[in-house]
């Protein structure tokens, strides 16, 4: 749970700075947000969570 909240905060912060620097437009940010929202409700959510957990554990072991 803590990893998910941290990743959501990280991705939200990245989107904020991309919007602020005008590297990413509001339409693109909306599409990215909706893609993530709909991806989380599919069967791909579990493997994506497992992949991110494995990457975080691997980085902790370096």
Can you give the pLDDT at residue 4? 58
Q: Are 15 and 29 in contact (CB under 8 A)?
A: yes
In the chain, domain spans: 26-57
Can you give the pLDDT at residue 19? 81
d(Cα 36, Cα 45) in Å, to the nearest integer?
10
- Name the band, by pLDDT with cuts 50, 70 and 90, for residue 62: confident
Tens-digit pLDDT profile for residues 1-60: 555 567 677 777 888 888 888 887 888 888 787 777 777 777 877 887 788 889 889 988
Overall pTM > 0.75: no
Can you give the pLDDT at residue 26? 82
């Amino acid at each position: 749970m803590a990893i998910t909240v941290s990743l959501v905060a990280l991705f939200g912060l990245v989107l904020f700075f991309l919007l602020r620097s005008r590297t990413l437009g509001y339409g693109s940010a909306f599409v990215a947000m909706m893609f993530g929202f709909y991806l989380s409700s599919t069967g791909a959510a579990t493997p994506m969570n497992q992949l991110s957990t494995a990457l975080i554990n691997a980085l902790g072991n370096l």
